[in-house]
Copies of this chain bind each other. A is one copy, B any other.
Amino acid sequence: MANALTRKLERVADLTAGEREVLESLCDRPRIIRAGQDILREGDRPEHLHLVVEGWAIRYNILPNGARQITAYLIPGDFCDLHVLVLEQMDHSIAALGPAKIAYIPKATVNLLTRQLPELLQALWWATLVDEGVLRAWIVNMGRRSAFKRAGHLMCGMYERMNNVGLVHGNAFSLPLTQREIADTLGLTPVHIGRVISRLRKEGLIALQKKELLIPDIERLKAISGFDSRYLHPEHVRVN
């Protein structure tokens, strides 16, 4: 079975057998990170690139007043810190949500690979462009939607991502987040997220228990929260 990185990059580029093999080898011998532990901290100047092999991680900033804002959820196949190739220093932190496996890849290796395999370089660039689309949708969600729609939108996005990797069964999937994390994602408070979730339940839009989220009618929730999945779907076929 192909690993997550390979699967992800193949959505935007055709890879040769050789390239695929190289990618597989990068994920060898990942380190195990305990739940909640930081993988990278603001200010770090990492010598390795960090790749999520298994589990979930969050990208987040802590403000001087202690508030936290989450800016990304990282799933298997996602790099934590590609930007340090350019900016060197971390301007935010990364933490494992649950227990996770992280591969440590020397920066030099990546620099070498991208110089030798332009095809791979392009795939990484394109994956970055897709990520940008996700960030833009995040901004729109936070800037112009009510808390109720914001929460619905987030859940639709999670559904899509999990569905893309075959992890939705019977309209339900595992959502290993506390209300505090949802709040820090959407720019709200845990208390208010509680209110919103209880309303989503009351209106029959979701059933959430034991970190398992069930969305009985995803199309209805999408319509209500103004979710448009276009931004997640690369339609590109390599023109070679």
Contact = CB atoms under 8 A, between A and B. Distances in A.
Interface in A188-240: 226, 228, 230-231, 233-236, 239
A126 to B, nearest CB: 4
A34 to B, nearest CB: 25
A59 B186 CA distance: 21
A118 B125 CA distance: 12
A73 interface: no
Contacts of A87: 129-130, 133, 230-231, 233-236
Interface residues of A, number: 56
A139 interface: yes
Contacts of A126: 85-86
User: Does more than half of chain A's interface fall in helix, strand or loop, or is it mixed?
Assistant: helix
B88 A136 contact: no
Contacts of A130: 83, 86-87
A122 B91 CA distance: 22
Copies in the complex: 2
A89 interface: yes
B139 A83 contact: no
A86 to B, nearest CB: 4
Interface string A134-164: 0111111011110000000000000000000
Given A125-B128, A131-B132, A135-B135, A235 B92 contact: no
Contact of A128 (B63, B114, B129, B137): B129
Q: Which 7 A-B pairs have the closest CB atoms?
A: A143-B187, A125-B125, A135-B135, A69-B143, A86-B126, A83-B129, A71-B136
Interface of A: 12, 59, 61, 63-64, 67-69, 71-72, 82-83, 85-89, 91-92, 111, 114-115, 118, 121-122, 124-126, 128-133, 135-140, 142-145, 184, 186-187, 226, 228, 230-231, 233-236, 239
Given A69-B139, A85-B126, A121-B125, 12 more contacts: A63-B145, A63-B226, A68-B144, A72-B136, A86-B234, A87-B133, A114-B122, A118-B121, A128-B132, A135-B136, A142-B143, A144-B187
